[in-house]
Structure 1
Amino acid sequence: MSLGGEEWEVVRRAYYLERKSQRQVAKGGGRSRETIKAVLQEAEGETGRTQR
């Protein structure tokens, strides 16, 4: 997975703030759902958040 910092933030913002599903985030960003899932898991590890 190779997302730049800005792309990573777009994914995180869409999921957590805009409350989009992982599928919606993937489709809107042209990424696979697996990539989105990995980014979100990484984000949870850094922030300690486990809930949406």
Structure 2
Amino acid sequence: MLYGSDCIVIFYKDFETFNKYTRLGYIEDKEKLSDILKNNNDVKITFQSDIKI
């Protein structure tokens, strides 16, 4: 999600908020990501676009 004009935020659990976000994509396997984050200090996240220009 994009917060404001220059802050990317990654959510992997549902919660309520009054903040405004712009959806940039989605996580294919939230459960797997949650498990990885619990067991690792370092996580590399890659953004990929399926749009062909």
Q: Which has the higher contact order (CA 8 A, sep 6+)?
A: 1
* Structure with the larger helix share: 1
TM-score, structure 1 normalization: 0.30
TM-score, structure 2 normalization: 0.29
